[in-house]
Amino acid sequence: MNSYREPTFALCYKTEIFERGRWRAHLMAGTAYGYKKNLYNYPTIPLSGTILFKTDFVPVGGATLEYLVLDKLAIKATFIPLVGGLGLQYSL
């Protein structure tokens, strides 16, 4: 769900840029669907007044930082401009 209470889906490419011990960092870029053009001319989003935000698909990008608690369990922080999240990640 996004801030407009609409379901939102994203498809991103993620690449690892750092790994040391139990720490990992990634960069990601892709597109999201679900904002229904609500981000066009949004005052705090760079380039929001361009064609990039005039369609139903909007660009997304950001970074993640993970700390492996166990071999398959990590605490994960995600940072996307204007949005952040903290959670758990379990790898199969």
Please check whether residue 53 lies inside any domain of the structure: yes
Let me know if residue 4 belongs to a domain.
no
Structure tokens at 18: 């750092």
Report how many domains make up the chain: 1
What pLDDT score does 83 carry?
72
> What does the alpha-carbon distance between residue 13 and residue 30 come to, in Å, rounded to a whole number?
6
In a domain, 52, yes or no: yes
Residue 81 is assigned to a structural domain of this protein: yes
> How many other CB atoms are found less than 10 A from the CB of residue 35?
19
Sorted by sequence, the CB contacts under 8 Å of residue 89 that are 6+ apart come out as 66, 73, 74, 75, 76
Please report the pLDDT score of residue 20 as a whole number: 97
What pLDDT score was predicted for residue 43? Answer: 87
> Which pLDDT tens digit goes with each residue over 23-56?
999 999 999 999 888 888 888 888 889 998 999 9
- Looking at the domain assignment, is residue 2 inside a domain? no
User: With a threshold of 0.85, does the pTM exceed it?
Assistant: no
- Whether 1 is in a domain gets the answer no
Q: For residue 38, is it within any domain? A: yes
Range of the domain at 31: 9-90
Strand partners, 29: 13, 61
